[in-house]
């Protein structure tokens, strides 16, 4: 199922996050977050755009504003993106799109198949992995969690929207600058965690949140082979399972981060161990929860991480 983004007050209400200086809260104001486009906006310059993942669709919407109608294909937080199967509705969206943004690096290969089935010389495609210079076999494909990704993607989106609608090129460039500024509180929150907890050991189920943990200077103790197995839906080796269990039972990590979007039997068992041995847990989403913007989602993830590290509080990402 696909859902088009509409301007909702709930998106602003959801903008609660930790302040860089403490555990107060703040709300992202309208000046800090670029406007969200209303789907199906009227006018002669409305560009039809698609984001393979809803976090990319959200950024397209913020940059394109009133001149873009955007749809996110993978927008269901209860779906495992790694096994997503495209529908005929997805094929129709791609066929009609003037701009498509996909993650690449093997994460959403169905997009290229759909584009190949309905080629268009006028359609612009942004393959984020390729555009940012990552190899096609990159181990961790969750590029939207890398703090440097979206500001670069926003610039690409603004430039390509300007090609499709030259008359509004300055408008798109302005929105990209607004978007960049709106990420500063997130960067500050990451820097605060890094100052306070640099080198702190953590465990994970899979590499969904690894880029943020690494940006925070944390030490991921879970073997990569274990992470890759869970990500790809295969059974980790008994040796790696034992290592992961020891991290929890011997309290060798401060936080256990898991993908709350696609919990499996291994995750459930590890969560039970973490609870038994009083290891703080945080549940993160792999794709953006529906009531968030990209900015509020990223801030919420860092908020729960900091609560877990500083106070041992177990929390899940707000949906």
pLDDT, position 41 = 42
pTM of the model: 0.86
Q: What is the mean pLDDT of residues 22-27?
A: 33
Weakest mean pLDDT among 35-39, 120-124, 144-148 = 35-39
The answer to whether residue 149 sits within a structural domain is yes
Query: Does any domain span residue 263?
Result: yes
Q: How far is CA 37 from the centre of its chain?
A: 19
Task: Name the domain count of the chain.
Answer: 2
pLDDT of residue 128: 98
pLDDT score of 82: 66
Per-residue pLDDT tens for 36-85? 333 334 445 799 999 999 999 999 999 999 999 999 998 776 666 666 77
Q: What is the per-residue pLDDT for 75?
A: 79
Per-residue CA distances from 9 to 62, 203, 215, 293 (Å)? 15, 36, 31, 11
Cα(177)–Cα(34) distance, integer angstroms: 9
Q: Give the burial string for 15-45 (b: 16+ CB within 10 Å, else e).
A: bebbebeeeeeeebeeebbbebbbbebeeee
At 172-221, the pLDDT tens digits run: 999 999 999 999 999 999 999 999 999 999 999 999 999 999 999 999 99
What are the start-end ranges of the E strands in the chain? 3-4, 16-18, 25-27, 47-53, 68-74, 99-102, 124-127, 201-204, 219-220, 255-259, 280-284, 315-316
Domain-ending residue, one of 182, 198, 231: 182
Q: What is the dihedral of CA 150, 256, 234, 239, to 10 degrees?
A: 130
Q: Are residues 86 and 178 both part of a single domain?
A: yes
Domain range for 137: 34-182
In a domain, 24, yes or no: no
Q: Which of 159, 182, 205 lies at the terminal end of a domain, its last residue?
A: 182
Choosing from 137, 167, 182, the residue where a domain stops is: 182
When pLDDT is averaged across residues 296-303 and rounded to a whole number, the result is 97
For residues 230 and 149, membership in a common domain is answered with no
Cα 291 to Cα 297: distance, rounded to the nearest angstrom: 9
**pLDDT reported for residue 80:** 66
State the CATH number of the domain containing residue 308. 3.40.50.1980
The percent of residues above 70 in pLDDT, for the chain, comes to: 83
The pLDDT, as a whole number, for residue 290 is 87
Q: Are strands 99-102 and 124-127 parallel, antiparallel or unpaired?
A: parallel
| 48 shares its domain with 172 | yes
């Amino acid at each position: 199922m696909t859902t088009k983004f509409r301007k909702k007050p709930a998106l602003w209400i959801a903008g609660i996050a930790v302040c860089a200086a403490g555990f107060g809260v703040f709300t992202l104001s309208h000046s800090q977050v670029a406007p969200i486009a209303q789907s199906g906006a009227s006018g002669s310059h409305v560009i039809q755009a698609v984001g393979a993942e809803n976090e990319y669709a959200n950024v397209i919407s913020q940059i394109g504003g009133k001149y873009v109608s955007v749809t996110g294909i993978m927008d269901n937080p209860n779906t495992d993106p790694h096994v997503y199967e495209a529908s005929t509705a997805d094929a129709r969206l791609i066929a009609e799109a003037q701009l498509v943004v996909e993650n690449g690096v093997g994460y959403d290969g169905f997009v290229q198949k759909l584009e190949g089935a309905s080629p268009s010389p006028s359609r612009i495609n942004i393959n984020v992995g390729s555009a940012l210079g990552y190899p096609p076999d990159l181990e961790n494909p969750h590029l939207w969690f890398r703090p440097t990704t979206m500001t670069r993607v926003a610039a690409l989106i603004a430039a390509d929207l300007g090609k499709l609608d030259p008359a509004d090129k300055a408008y798109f460039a302005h929105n990209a600058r607004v978007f960049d500024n709106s990420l500063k509180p997130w960067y500050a929150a990451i820097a605060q965690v890094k100052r306070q907890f640099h080198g702190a050991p953590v465990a994970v189920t899979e590499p969904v949140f690894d880029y943020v943990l690494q940006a925070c200077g944390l030490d991921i103790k879970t073997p990569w082979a274990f992470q890759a197995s869970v990500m790809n839906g295969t059974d980790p080796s008994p040796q790696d399972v034992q290592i992961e269990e020891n991290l929890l039972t011997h309290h060798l990590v401060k936080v256990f981060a898991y993908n709350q979007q696609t919990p499996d039997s291994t995750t459930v068992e590890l969560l039970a161990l973490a609870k038994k041995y009083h290891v703080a847990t945080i549940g993160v989403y792999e794709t953006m929860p529906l009531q968030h913007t990209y900015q509020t989602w990223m801030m919420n993830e860092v908020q729960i991480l900091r609560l877990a590290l500083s106070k041992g509080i177990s929390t899940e990402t707000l949906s």
